[in-house]
Amino acid sequence: MDTLKTAIVNSAFREGNLVPVGKTPTPVEAAEGLVILNEFLLSLFGTVAGKFFVGLPLPIPDDFRDGLIPNEDPNKPLSNRRIFLSNTSVQAVAFPLRPTDGGRMAVVNVASSAAVTLSGNGKFIDPGDRTFSTSFAFPGNIGEYYEWFYRADLGMWVLIRSNNAGPFTSLDSSPFPSELDTLLITGLSLRLQTRYGNDPLQGTVDAFTKAFRNAKSRYSQTENKIVNPQLPISPSVIDMYGVNS
């Protein structure tokens, strides 16, 4: 079970000695802590977990290849892609066959006028409630935006934000596994100390620094390699990216 955000907020207040042992922050303090925690969580995606997105239109124009592997199929994109939908025919998009732990995917309905089904390609796609579904019918409304990151421990693309869901309440659990609780607790505690006009505690700084490095190492992403389309694709590239899968 992943840790509830309310527990992380409570621990962060205690970490900074802002509340005594056995006490919890007031509702107003907890609400402020939750806002800061959500800001901190979202700042970790693309910096600690995953890379910055590469935009990928669907359908893809023939001249749109900058930053993409030449052999990349927009219906079978690589990790860390933001897909912009403007399709006029029914489409199926398969998420990466071999996603890297912490990889990200996002889909935006820019001008789509036909159905789009997202496939986890053998992995789960979270529609917003951590249900175990292997496909997701993307909403047809223009402007719909969904963003996921991949958790290898769950075999799931976990939804982190969308028009309809997001890390907004203390009843939500952390999108990260509990092994990263120290990162979240100490990071939030340091932010809270600033709000309260206190100097950061050295022990908290040290714990945060170690946890941050560990998280960066855990979610390190392999760089995409540019493949010459005139040459055969090596088995190592196929295995790494599932280019021909």
Instruction: Give residue-wise pLDDT tens across range 3-13.
Output: 999 999 999 99
- Say whether pLDDT at 167 is over 60: no
Q: Does the structural domain 54-166 have CATH classification 2.60.120?
A: yes
Quick one: pLDDT band at residue 112, thresholds 50, 70, 90? very high
Where exactly does CATH 2.60.120 map onto the chain?
Answer: 54-166
Share above pLDDT 70 across residues of the chain, in percent, rounded to a whole number: 82
Is 188 or 78 the better-scoring residue by pLDDT?
188
Q: What is the pLDDT of residues 12-69, one digit of tens each?
A: 999 999 999 999 999 999 999 999 999 999 999 988 988 888 888 888 776 665 555 5
- Check residue 62 and give its pLDDT: 65
Indicate the average pLDDT of the chain: 84
Residues near 100 by beta carbon (within 8 Å), at least 6 away in sequence:
79, 150, 219, 221, 222
- Say whether pLDDT at 73 is over 60: yes
Q: What is the pLDDT of residues 205-241, one digit of tens each?
A: 999 999 999 999 999 876 554 444 444 444 443 333 3
Quick one: pLDDT band at residue 72, thresholds 50, 70, 90? confident
- Say whether pLDDT at 129 is over 80: no
Q: Which of 101-105, 125-129, 214-218 has the lowest mean pLDDT?
A: 125-129
